[in-house]
Structure 1
Amino acid sequence: MKYSRATDYALHTILFLAKNGSEKNMGVQELAEKQSVSPTYLSKILNKLVKEGMIRSSPGVNGGYSLSPHWEEISFLDIIQAIEGKTSLFDCCLNSNPDCSIKKVMLAAEMSMEQKLRNTKLSDLA
C-alpha cells in the first residue's frame, strides 16, 4: 500500500503551518522550498486543503496560508482523505459476493488502520 507524494506534502505542510503558529501566514514559495517541491504543484495540494476547511488562504502582500481555527482536531485520516479521496484501498474482484472472506480480512485491516489515523492528530506532533 502506498499513498501519493501529494499526501506526504499535505501532511508536512500542515505540520509546518502548526509549528509556524496557527495565526501566522506562510507563503506557498516558503512552504514549497521547505519540501523541495514546485510551488505550482504545492498550490494544487493547498487548494484541496482549503476546500476541506483545514487551512485558510489569504490574498495580498502579507497573504499566504494559515491553519483553520479548529486545526487541533485535524487527524491524519482527514488529511489523507482530502488528498486521496475516501474510496477503499482494496477492491475485491468478487464484489457481488458479500461473503468473500478475503474482502472481509482486507476491510477489517483497513478499518484498523483508519482508526489509528483518525485518532492521531497533527497537533500531537506540533
Structure 2
Amino acid sequence: MIVSKTLDYAVRTLTYLGKRQSGKTVLMKEIAESQKIPLSYLAKVMRQLVKAGIVFSEYGPNGGYSLKKTPSEITLRQVYEAVEGTLRMVECFDVSGISCVFTSCCGQADVWQEIEKKLLDILGSITIQDIIARECVYPEKLLFTNKSENKHANS
C-alpha cells in the first residue's frame, strides 16, 4: 500500500502549521516552499482541509492558513477522510461495506474488513501532534539506508 501524494502533502502541511504559533496564519506560498509542494497542488489540498474543518483560511493582507483545531485534536483518519474520502480496502463491497457485490460467498471479505477496521483504528489513534513529536527521531542516514535497501530488494 502506498500513501498518495495528496495525503502526504496534507500531513506535511498540517505538521508545518502545527509547529507554528497557535492562531498565526501562514501564507500558502511559505508552506509550499518549505515543504517542497507544488503551489497548485497545495491549493487543492488546502481547499479540502478547509472544507473538512481542519484548517482555517483567512483572506486579506494578513491572510493565510492556520489550524482550526490543535494538533492533538487532528487524527490521521480525519486527514485521510478529508483528502481521500472514505477508506475502502477493496472496491467489491457494496456501499455499506458489508457484502460483496460479486458473490454471496467470498473468502476474502472478512480479511479485508478486518484489515480495514484495524487500519482505521490506527489512523484514528495517531494525531498530528504525535507526528510533530516524532520528527527528527530517525537519523537521515537510517532513512537513506532503508531506501537503498528497498531498491535492492525490488531489483
TM-score, normalised to structure 2, is 0.74
Report if the CA contact (8 A) 2:15-2:128 is conserved.
yes
User: What is the Cα deviation at residue 22 of structure 1?
Assistant: 2.5
Unaligned residue ranges in structure 1 (runs of 5+): none
Counterpart in the other structure of 1:105: 111
The CA RMSD over aligned residues, in Å, is: 1.7
User: What is the Cα deviation at residue 87 of structure 1?
Assistant: 4.3
Change beyond 3 A, Cα 1:98–1:23? farther
Please say which structure displays the higher CA radius of gyration.
2
* Counterparts of 1:89 and 1:2, CA distance in 2: 12
Change beyond 3 A, Cα 1:34–1:98? farther
Counterpart in the other structure of 2:143: none
User: What is the Cα deviation at residue 91 of structure 1?
Assistant: 2.1
Q: Which amino acid letter does the alignment assign opposite residue 111 of structure 2?
A: V
Q: Which amino acid letter does the alignment assign opposite residue 6 of structure 2?
A: A
Q: Which amino acid letter does the alignment assign opposite residue 97 of structure 1?
A: T
Report if the CA contact (8 A) 1:17-1:67 is conserved.
yes
Moved more, 96-105 or 111-120: 96-105
User: What is the Cα deviation at residue 2 of structure 1?
Assistant: 2.1
Report if the CA contact (8 A) 2:45-2:83 is conserved.
yes
TM-score, normalised to structure 1, is 0.90
Higher relative contact order (CA 8 A, sep 6+): 1
* Counterparts of 2:36 and 2:87, CA distance in 1: 29
Report if the CA contact (8 A) 1:22-1:68 is conserved.
no
Taking only the aligned residue pairs, the percentage that are identical comes to 32
User: What is the Cα deviation at residue 70 of structure 1?
Assistant: 4.9
Q: Which amino acid letter does the alignment assign opposite residue 49 of structure 2?
A: L
